[in-house]
A and B are shown apart, each in its own frame.
Chain A
Amino acid sequence: MAIDWLAIAPEVALTVTALLVLAADLALRGDAKQLVNPLAMIGTVVAIVFAVVLWAEAPRVAFEGQYVVDSFAVAFKLLFLGTLLAILAISARYFAEGRYFQGEYYFLLLTAFIGMLLMPSARDLLVLFIALETVSVPAFVMVGMRKRDLYSSEAALKFFLIGVLSAALMLFGMSMVYGFTGTTRLEGIAQALAGDAGSVPLLLGSVMLVIVGFGFKISAVPFHFWAPDTYAGSPLPVAAMLAVASKAAGFAGLLTIAFVAFEPVADVWAPVLGVLAILTMTLGNLVALQQRDLIRLLAYSSIAQAGYMLIPFGLARPGAEVVNQAAVRAVLFYLIAYAVMNVGAFAVAIGVNRRTGERSIRDYAGLGTRSPLLALAMTVFLLSLGGAPLTVGLWAKFAIIEAVAVEVTVFGLVMASFLVVNSVIAFFYYLRVIREIWFEPAAAEAPRLQPALSLSVVVVVLMVGTILLGVLPGLVADPTVVTTFATGG
């Protein structure tokens, strides 16, 4: 069996980089350890190059159809790798100054991203599971990275327990699905579900259990409880990773399993996910209103965003090609937009408060004078998260409403109206931060901020990206139009 190396080239590149990082960390001493960061970046860039090459080469099928590199997968891979690059950049000074275990951190980070790269290509329950765990396990450790910090260890514990619980639930579901269909291949499952098996209650329940595992990753209600505590307790770059990359990976997996394997029973899970979407965005926004800690606010905001992204799932119908494709595209576009703006927001948070404990919104008072760049950037990111015009956030919401409008249903309209109302509610708390930044005077002792160069670069790039995509969403929207699932084999 010949292995299609090109198909897995990005993963291989990252794996090699991870090993190199580990080795370098062992070899280097003291401040020299900081060199692992550029090393990781180089590896990432190499992986990106491979991914770009793959974009032209897609679709490719490897490992007898268990692993498919289609345009959908490549799009996600590029998204992950881009996010990785940004997170590496914002991590540099954070970890260098914090005296953390740099080598381990970068190794774990790269490993987690390997798992993510696997996710959208997986066409087998087993591969999906492996990918998911490869994302999760390093993340458990990274969250607890600040070993002496009570918050950090508590965050790790909560994350871990909820993580393994949902993994176990998902596995139980997978085992049942296997039992009913006799295969772990996604296409095979789809065929079985399209037949008689599609109406067995136990099987349908199992399908739901499988979906639950991803619900944890994307922090949908009621699997979201870990998110605020974990984000607040972990090192900020890790929180950014969890909020963006890990969540995107969850969506990648959920999209794959929902629209490839479980598509024939979409009429069953779609309403459930739609209801979850409504619950998730509403709860996320409402609770966010009460937050005084910026990171927790961002956490709840990201829960709400997950709710928006679940809406297209609620639209899915078995066999409705056009609707389902529009739904997938909407989610993908939203994720890209979400990555740009949310990484940006976390980056600014890193620039403003690097330490642990409560990171009050009050700390942002007078940011406009303390660091105009960060203040402006934060404003742009928050407005974008809210969906203001000339930012990519507007188009993200637009994409979702557009998906709803492809074939108007009552339920779709209900979800859309919740989206609309929630967008307005969300502005309440985004504007609160913006107000703090611009309208309030800085505390007397607050110094001017000197963000690290790499951080500034990331912030500027993301800010420009947010606005550029806000003006010309076609830059991303047009290519993603062609993203489709390729069938294995």
Chain B
Amino acid sequence: MDPNTAGWALVVALFLPLVGGGALALMPAALDQQIRRAAVLITGVSFALVIAITATFDFGRSGELQFVTDVPWIAAIDARFFLAIDGISLPLFFLTYLLTLLCAIYSLKVLPPPGKPKAFLALMLMLQTGMAGTFVAFDLILFFIFWELVLVPMFFMIGIWGGPRRDYASVKFFLYTLFGSVFMLVAFLAIYFQSGAQTWSIPELSALAPFGSTTFQTWAFLGIFLGFAIKVPMWPFHTWLPDAHTEAPTVGSVLLAGVLLKMGTYGFIRIALPILPEGATRFAPIIGVLAVIGIIYGSLCCLAQTDIKRLIAFSSVGHMGFVMLGIAAMNATGIQAALFGNLAHGIITGMLFFLAGSLHERYHTRDIATIGGGMLKLLPRYGVLLTYVAVASLGLPGLAGFWGEFTAMWAAISPGVGLADSYQGLYLALVVVAALGTVLTAGYFLWLLQRVNLGDPPERWSSGHLDDVMTIEWVSWAPLLVLILALGVYPRLVFGVQDAAVTNLVGFLGG
């Protein structure tokens, strides 16, 4: 495939899951296993296509859009069907397909009540198109459609296959994120009219920027900020997250943490920063402060959790804080850091949720005290995996989690676009506090490990037989486990791909 002409490949890869999901919905519900295999097949084929795209992607020109499809879509409002991929999109796009494939594989065996694999997998495939589309849409309207498309299947995933408080969690998730995104839509419209260019194209608008008065930039950025910040989620917009994560089925949590949250930060980087550079500059210190509060706050909340899934959910608040800190730095390194942190968090926390889900499968409880420790004795492989992933999540160098955090702090100490002149002290303080956050992070993860892994298992588990890691789990987890190490040891895998694209993007920030 020639990256200059093969736009079709991207389109096919993007819509194959949606079409496949539709096809899945038409299969008779009685064909339980066949449906699950079909889902694996669909996600597998899409993933193969994405691998082909990645393989033929011209890494020498990762700053430019490749696999472009740009045709008129809604003439009345100048919206275009504009899909493409560049160095910033590619890693996230890849991750989306990988995670969904793994989820499909995982669902071959594991599906929470009430079962119904057909509906579940069809929703998951629909979700996949929505998520992936967000990362390759270069038209604001198209982006918004994909963005919103994600809400519906996730709402159902949480609402039907979720835990005891699924009703509350699903509606809260839906409304909270919807609330943000409508403001975002208003801001998009404002941008459209303010630019006067009759276009929703992100690259074109970026090239036009900055336009409008400072007031306009501030307000428009505020609207976009609300939409993205809720999705990220930034403190104090995070409260939907623990509920949604806790109640969602395993696959839902994995995709939620692995991809959905990334959409917010991606949006900041792809849309908010280049199109509204002045607004972004004004907001950057605020974002930085909120991000750091999120880091400390998320970690503190983690320490107070008794529910393992909820703990992991709160840890996302902290980790995404680092990502946002990178964005707040407003320089190339910061954006590199944010994107890397994004990806690493997706992989690691996705994996953590897989583990938490399987833990629930085994113990039928998520309460840390009830589990009571001794997992290394009871389920040794599982215990080792948990240690590995937890250690990765607390940002150990050499594993994926480190680079995002370290680089974000490194970026924040010398923020770009003139922020260094007026806010040097603030940013230094942010870095110090963020670094303290890593201690807290280590604290709660070690404490978690101590309470779950170490010691002797309590009586109540000694009678029943608990299965250690199953083959299907190995298969669906192995890629993530490998990636955690690979990204940690060879960060160029991501940094290198993004470099040119990020440099381009920072060019739009000026300053």
Contact = CB atoms under 8 A, between A and B. Distances in A.
Tell me if chains A and B make direct contact, with any CB pair below 8 A: yes
Interface of A: 383, 388-390, 394, 398, 401-402, 405-406, 408, 416-417, 420, 423-424, 427-428, 431, 435, 438-439, 472-474, 477-478, 480-481
Contacts of B156: 438
Contacts of B144: 389
Nearest to B192: A405
A200 to B, nearest CB: 37
B76 A478 contact: yes
Interface stretch (B39-47, B54-62, B159-167): B159-167
B211 interface: no
A431 B171 contact: yes
A473 B190 CA distance: 20
Contacts of B147: 389
A473 B77 CA distance: 10
Interface stretch (B173-181, B338-346, B489-497): B173-181
Contact of B175 (A398, A416, A424, A473): A424
Given A424-B182, A428-B175, A439-B160, A394 B76 contact: no
Nearest to B180: A424
Contacts of B189: 401-402, 405
B167 A388 contact: no
19 contacts: A389-B145, A390-B148, A394-B145, A402-B77, A402-B189, A405-B193, A408-B190, A423-B178, A423-B182, A424-B178, A424-B179, A427-B174, A428-B171, A428-B175, A431-B174, A439-B170, A477-B74, A477-B76, A477-B77
Nearest to A387: B182
B197 interface: no
Residue in B155, B175, B182 whose Cβ sees the most chain A Cβ within 10 Å:
B182
B174 to A, nearest CB: 6
Contacts of B148: 388-390, 394
A438 to B, nearest CB: 6
A420 B182 CA distance: 6
A414 B99 CA distance: 42
A325 B75 CA distance: 17
B166 A439 contact: yes
Contact of B75 (A398, A405, A427, A474): A474
B76 A390 contact: no
Interface residues of B, number: 33
B186 interface: yes
A423 B177 CA distance: 12
A28 to B, nearest CB: 41
Contact of B193 (A389, A408, A423): A408
A269 to B, nearest CB: 25
A359 B456 CA distance: 58
A89 B156 CA distance: 31
Contacts of B337: none
B183 interface: yes
Nearest to A473: B74
Contacts of A417: 186
A481 B78 CA distance: 12
B73 interface: yes
Contacts of B152: 383, 388-389
B364 to A, nearest CB: 22
Contacts of A394: 145, 148
B251 interface: no
Contacts of A478: 74-76
A467 to B, nearest CB: 11
Given A389-B148, A401-B186, A477-B74, A439 B167 contact: yes
Contacts of B77: 398, 402, 477
The SS class assigned to the A binding surface is helix
Contacts of A473: 74, 76
Given A389-B148, A405-B193, A439-B170, 17 more contacts: A389-B146, A394-B148, A398-B185, A401-B186, A402-B77, A420-B182, A420-B183, A420-B186, A424-B178, A427-B174, A428-B171, A431-B171, A435-B167, A439-B159, A439-B167, A473-B74, A474-B74
Contacts of B75: 474, 477-478
A402 B182 CA distance: 13
Contact of B178 (A416, A427, A472): A427
Nearest to A419: B182
Interface string B131-149: 0000000000000111111
A394 B74 CA distance: 14
A191 B152 CA distance: 51
A438 B145 CA distance: 24
A388 to B, nearest CB: 6
Residue in A389, A406, A438 whose Cβ sees the most chain B Cβ within 10 Å:
A389
Nearest to A383: B152
B327 interface: no
B101 interface: no
B149 A390 contact: yes
A417 B186 CA distance: 9
A406 B192 CA distance: 10
- Closest 4 interchain pairs by CB? A389-B148, A477-B76, A474-B74, A420-B182
B503 to A, nearest CB: 33
B399 interface: no
B183 A474 contact: no
Nearest to B148: A389
A406 B145 contact: no
B244 interface: no
Contacts of B193: 405-406, 408
Contacts of B73: 472, 474
Nearest to B155: A431
B192 A481 contact: no
Contacts of B160: 438-439
A406 B193 CA distance: 7
Contacts of A477: 74-77
Nearest to A425: B175
B189 to A, nearest CB: 4
Given A439-B159, A439-B160, A416 B186 contact: yes
B211 to A, nearest CB: 15
B151 A438 contact: no
A427 B76 contact: no
Contacts of B155: 431
B240 to A, nearest CB: 13
Contacts of A480: 76
B122 to A, nearest CB: 11
A473 B73 CA distance: 9
A477 B155 CA distance: 29
Contacts of B182: 420, 423-424
Contacts of A423: 178, 182
Given A474-B73, A474-B76, A389 B190 contact: no
Contacts of A406: 193
Nearest to B147: A389
A307 to B, nearest CB: 16
B159 A388 contact: no
Contacts of B145: 389-390, 394
A420 B175 CA distance: 12
Contacts of B192: 405
Nearest to A398: B185
Contacts of B179: 424
A463 to B, nearest CB: 13
Nearest to B126: A390
Nearest to B18: A390
A344 B190 CA distance: 33
A383 B144 CA distance: 16
Contacts of A428: 171, 175
A299 B233 CA distance: 36
A427 B185 CA distance: 17
A402 B160 CA distance: 36
A477 B167 CA distance: 36
B393 to A, nearest CB: 32
A389 B153 CA distance: 12
A472 B74 contact: yes
Contacts of A398: 77, 185
Contacts of A427: 174-175, 178
